[in-house]
Amino acid sequence: MATLENIRRRGPLVAIIIGFAMLAFILGDFLNSGGSLFSNDQFRIAQIDDVSVDYQEYEQKVLEATELYKQRMNIQSVDERLKEEIKRQVWDDMIQSIIMGKEYEKLGVFVSPDELFDLVQGKNIDPMMRQIPIFINQQTGLFDPALVVYFLKNMDQDKSGNSKATWIALEGEIMQNQLNRKYMNLILKGLYISNKEAEKEFIDRNYIVDFDFISSKFSDVSDSSISITDADIKEYYDKHQKDFEQEASRDLAYVTFTVVPSSKDSLYTQEWINKILKEFTTTDDNKQFINFNSDISLDESHYKKSEYPNIDVDSILFNSEVNTIYGPYFEDGSYKLAKLLEVKNLPDSVKVKHILIQPNGKNIVDINQAKAIADSLKTVIKNGGNFAEIAKNYSTDKKSGEEGGEMGWYIENQAAAPFQIKPFNLLVDSSLNKIIILEYNYGIHLIAVSDKSAESKKIKVGVVERKIMASSETYQSVYSEASKFAGENRSLSKFEKSVEANKLIKKVAPGITQSETFIAGLESPREMIRWAFKAEKNDVSQVFEFANNYVIAALTEIREKGIAPIEQVNDEIKFYVSKEKKIALLKENISKLLPSDLETLANKLSQEVKEARNVSFTSFQIQGLGYEPNVIANAVSLEKDKVSAPIEGENGVYVIKVKSVTPAPAIENMNLIVEKSKLTRNLQQRTMQQIFKALKTSSEITDERSKFY
C-alpha cells in the first residue's frame, strides 16, 4: 500500500520521466534510420525542382513500362539488361514529364478526351499505336482499330490487372507525345529565316577560293624547347575552370575469378549420362522421358539424309533400326545420347489453304464467337461447301481470300506465315482437304492441306542432353581463391603487386557514374558500383558474385561533382599549356621572317608549299589539312595574292596566300526560297534537340536512385 501511495504522489513526475523515455526512443530510432518525422524523404528517389518522386511511384512506372514493352514486342519476359534499359528510359521520361509539365501548364497546352480517343481509335492514329503487335492485323500487316475495340472490351477479364495498367500507361505515353508535338509546334512556328540570312548563307557557300599554304605542326616542336611551370598550370586552370566541370564518377580496377566446370564436374556428368543410358534404352514413352530428364526438350522435326546437325548421329542412325541409341558423345559442352525414334516416308513440303476468322468488335465480338463461326464453316465445307468461295466471303485475310484461301507451299522447320504450326507433321499427317481448326491469340484458322510434295525417307531423333555445370564444390573452391586474394590485398598497392605476381588479368572500368548499370563482362554489377561510391580512394572490396564470376575491385580514382581539382586535370592542362607555348614559339619564328613571299618563307622554314582548292566558308575541312576552321575563315576573307600573318590552327600554325577567287553568283528568287526552306528545317531540328536540354540544365535535379538500386 505504501508503494502504491508513493506512486500516486509522484504520478506527475513518473509520467514526465516515461514521456521523455518514449520520446528518446522514438528520436533515437528516427535518427538511426535517417528518416524524418514530417516527410518521406527516406523513400524519395528523385527531386526535380519542387517536385518529389518516391520509390513506389517510380517502381509502378517501371512495371507499367515493362508490360507495355512486352506488349509492343510481343514477348513474355525481359532479361536483366532490358530491365535496366527500361528503368533508364522511365527515369528520362519521368524527368521530361515533370519539367515539360510545368511548361504545358504555363502555356495552357493540354489534350482533351476527344483528342485522345482520336489518337487511339479514330482517324488520326498515333504512330505508337501502329507499332503494337496486338493491334496489327496479321494478314494485312496494318493497324486495325477493331482489334483495339476487342482489347478494350476484354481488358477487364485479365484478373491480374496488367492489361488495364498497360493500356493506361500506353494512353499516358501517347498523351505525352501529343503534348510534346503541340509544344514543339508552338516554338517552331515562331522560328523565322530572313531573306538576308538566306542570301548570306548562299554567298558563304558559293564564294570559292583556291590558296597556297605552308604549315608548321606542333608535333615538330620538341618539348625541350619550352618550359612549363606550376604557375603556368595554375594560371591556365584559373582561366578555364568551367572547362573542367564534371559529374561525380569513379575509376575501378578489378579482377575476376571465373567459375568453370572442373574435370570432376565433367566426370560427374559423364557418369550421369552413362547411368541413364539403360533407362533411355527401355523406356516406352520417349517424349516424356526426354522432356523430364534432358536439358533440352524433344525436337519433333524429321530430317532427311545429311540434314541432321550432327554428322556422326546422321550417318549412324539413318540406316539403323528404331530405338537404336548413339552415344554417349560430347558436343558443345554437353554429354548426349541420341535415339532413333521414328523412320517415315514424308513429303518435304505441303501446299496450304486457310480461312481466318478474327474478332472485329462489331459482328464478331470476341474469340468465342469467332470459334463458333469457324465450327459452322467447317461443317458447311464437310457437307460439300466450296472452300474457295467461303474463303472469299468470310476470311479476314483479304489477300489469300481473294485467291480462295491459297497460302502456297511450306517446308518443315520454316515459319509458315501468317501462322506457325508445330509440329509440322500436323499438316503432313493430315488427309488432303481435311479441315483443321487452330486457335491463335489473333483469331481462328481453318486450315486444309491441298497438296503434298513427293515423299522421301526421314528420321526423327530424340536427344537426352546434360550440360556440364560447375558443382557447388567448384563454386566454393573458386570462392575460396577469390576470398583469399581479397583478404590478403586490402590496399591498392598490394592489389596491384598481387595481380602482377599471380599473372592475373586486371580490368578497368573508368568514369563509372552513380547511376551506371553496366560494366563490360559483368552481369548486373550494381552492388559493386554502389560500393565504389561509399568507399575511399585506394580501398579494395570484398568479394562480389556476378553470375559465374567472383570479382574483387579496387577504387583507383574519385571524382566529385563540380569543378575538378587541379591535381586530377594536371596532365590535361599540361597538354593545353604546351600547345599554347608551341603556338607562340612558332608564330614568333614565322613573324621574324615576314614580310616575304610564300615560296621564300617555305624555303627558310624548310617547308613545302601546298595547295587547297574549292574552299568556301561552309567547308567542313580542307583536303590535306583536315578540320581547320580558323584557316578557312582567314582564306575566304583574305585579299587575293596577299600573304597572311601566321594563323593559329587546330594542329599547327599556317601561312596562306589566296591564288584565285570565284565570287558567288547573284541569288535568284527560286534559290532564295529553297535556301530559306533548308535553313528553316536546320534551325527547327537544332531547336528541337536543344529545347529540353536547356530546360533540364536550368532545373535542379537530385538523383537518389542509388539508395534503392
Whose cell is 472452300? That residue is 387
pLDDT, position 413: 61
8 Å CB contact between 492 and 554: yes
Inter-CA distances, 552 with 252, 487, 496, Å: 10, 10, 12
Quick count: other Cβ atoms within 10 Å of Cβ 653?
24
pLDDT, position 226: 93
* 441 and 361 housed in the same domain: yes
Domain total for the chain? 6
8 Å CB contact between 408 and 422: no
Computed over its alpha carbons, how large is the radius of gyration of the chain?
A: 38
Please report, as a single letter, which amino acid is at residue 395.
S
* Domain assignment of residue 30, yes or no: yes
Model confidence band, residue 421 (pLDDT cutoffs 50, 70, 90) = low
Q: Which residues contact 399 (CB under 8 A, 6 or more apart)?
A: 139, 140
* Helix segments in 110-194, DSSP class H: 113-120, 145-154, 162-188
pLDDT, position 271: 96
Q: Which residues contact 675 (CB under 8 A, 6 or more apart)?
A: 198, 199, 201, 202, 667
Strand partners, 326: 338
Model confidence band, residue 34 (pLDDT cutoffs 50, 70, 90) = very low
Cell numbers of 327, please?
A: 552415344
N-term to C-term CA, the chain: 60
> What percent of the chain stands above pLDDT 90?
55
Model confidence band, residue 26 (pLDDT cutoffs 50, 70, 90) = very low
* 573 and 551 housed in the same domain: no
Q: Which range, 19-33, 406-420, 623-637, has the best average confidence (pLDDT)?
A: 623-637
8 Å CB contact between 394 and 377: yes
* Cβ density class 579-591: b for 16+ within 10 Å, e for less: eebbbebbbeebe
* 215 and 276 housed in the same domain: no
8 Å CB contact between 650 and 628: yes
Q: Is 392 exposed, middle or buried (0-12, 13-18, 19+ CB in 10 A)?
A: middle
Local structure of residue 491 (DSSP, 8 states): B
* 97 and 218 housed in the same domain: no
Q: Find the angle CA(536)-CA(538)-CA(539) to the nearest 5 degrees.
A: 60
Domain end position, chosen among 528, 560, 592: 560
* 104 and 183 housed in the same domain: yes
Maximum alpha-carbon separation in the chain: 121
CA 225/CA 207 separation, integer angstroms: 41
CATH number at residue 525: 3.10.50
* Domain assignment of residue 707, yes or no: no
Domain end position, chosen among 298, 323, 346: 346
Of 153-162, 348-357, 499-508, the one with minimum mean pLDDT is 153-162
Inter-CA distances, 587 with 221, 352, 547, 644, Å: 12, 81, 59, 12
pLDDT exceeds 70 at position 4: no
Strand partners, 512: 250
Model confidence band, residue 67 (pLDDT cutoffs 50, 70, 90) = confident
Of 2-16, 277-291, 680-694, the one with minimum mean pLDDT is 2-16
CATH number at residue 368: 3.10.50.40
pLDDT exceeds 80 at position 658: yes
pLDDT, position 17: 46
CA 40/CA 33 separation, integer angstroms: 12
Region 412-419: what's the mean pLDDT? 53
Of 96-100, 343-347, 354-358, 704-708, the one with minimum mean pLDDT is 704-708
pLDDT (tens digit per residue) in 477-504: 999 999 999 999 999 999 999 999 999 9
* 287 and 223 housed in the same domain: no
pLDDT, position 241: 93
pLDDT exceeds 80 at position 515: yes
The SS3 of residue 638 is: coil
CA 54/CA 708 separation, integer angstroms: 11
Mutual angle of helices 11-33 and 2-9, in 10-degree steps: 70
CA 609/CA 655 separation, integer angstroms: 10
* Domain assignment of residue 374, yes or no: yes
Please report, as a single letter, which amino acid is at residue 41.
D
Mutual angle of helices 286-293 and 263-282, in 10-degree steps: 160
Region 265-276: what's the mean pLDDT? 96
CA 8/CA 13 separation, integer angstroms: 10
* 645 and 541 housed in the same domain: no
Region 305-324: what's the mean pLDDT? 93
Give pairs for 238-245: CB < 8 Å, separation 24+: 240/576, 241/563, 242/563, 244/563, 244/564, 244/569, 245/562, 245/563, 245/564
* 618 and 510 housed in the same domain: no
* Domain assignment of residue 694, yes or no: no
Whose cell is 541420341? That residue is 338
* Domain assignment of residue 199, yes or no: no
Inter-CA distances, 472 with 253, 466, 476, 543, Å: 28, 17, 6, 17
Domain that holds residue 6: 2-38
Inter-CA distances, 175 with 102, 128, 503, 689, 690, Å: 15, 11, 57, 20, 22
* Domain assignment of residue 641, yes or no: yes
Cell numbers of 420, please?
A: 506457325
Q: Which residues contact 190 (CB under 8 A, 6 or more apart)?
A: none
Of 109-113, 294-298, 363-367, 615-619, the one with minimum mean pLDDT is 363-367
* Domain assignment of residue 609, yes or no: yes
CA 661/CA 159 separation, integer angstroms: 77
pLDDT, position 442: 63
The SS3 of residue 294 is: coil
pLDDT (tens digit per residue) in 530-574: 999 999 999 999 999 999 999 999 999 999 999 999 999 999 999
* Cβ density class 200-239: b for 16+ within 10 Å, e for less: bbbbeebbbbebbbbbbebeebeeeeeebeeebbeebbee
* 79 and 165 housed in the same domain: yes
Whose cell is 535496366? That residue is 84
* 363 and 421 housed in the same domain: yes
Mean pLDDT (the chain, rounded)? 87
Model confidence band, residue 518 (pLDDT cutoffs 50, 70, 90) = confident
Domain end position, chosen among 508, 536, 560: 560
Q: Is 150 exposed, middle or buried (0-12, 13-18, 19+ CB in 10 A)?
A: buried
- Which of 40, 87, 35 lies closest to 59 in space, CA to CA? 87
pLDDT, position 362: 58
CA 49/CA 691 separation, integer angstroms: 18
pLDDT exceeds 70 at position 466: yes
Quick count: other Cβ atoms within 10 Å of Cβ 199?
17
* 256 and 267 housed in the same domain: no
Cell numbers of 84, please?
A: 535496366
* Helix segments in 462-559, DSSP class H: 472-488, 492-501, 526-532
Claim: this prediction has a pTM higher than 0.85: no
The SS3 of residue 587 is: helix
Quick count: other Cβ atoms within 10 Å of Cβ 495?
27
Region 468-484: what's the mean pLDDT? 96
Side-chain half-sphere of 619: how many Cα atoms within 13 Å? 26
pLDDT, position 679: 93
- Which of 587, 571, 518, 569 lies closest to 546 in space, CA to CA? 518
Cell numbers of 656, please?
A: 596562306
* Domain assignment of residue 705, yes or no: no
CA 174 from centre of chain: 21
pLDDT, position 6: 42
Q: Is the dihedral of CA 408, 413, 416, 420 positive or negative?
A: positive
**Of residues 433 and 661, more confidently modeled:** 661
* 239 and 290 housed in the same domain: no
CA 115/CA 171 separation, integer angstroms: 11
pLDDT, position 153: 85
Cell numbers of 460, please?
A: 526423327
8 Å CB contact between 350 and 451: yes
Phi, psi of 187 (to 5 degrees): -75, -45
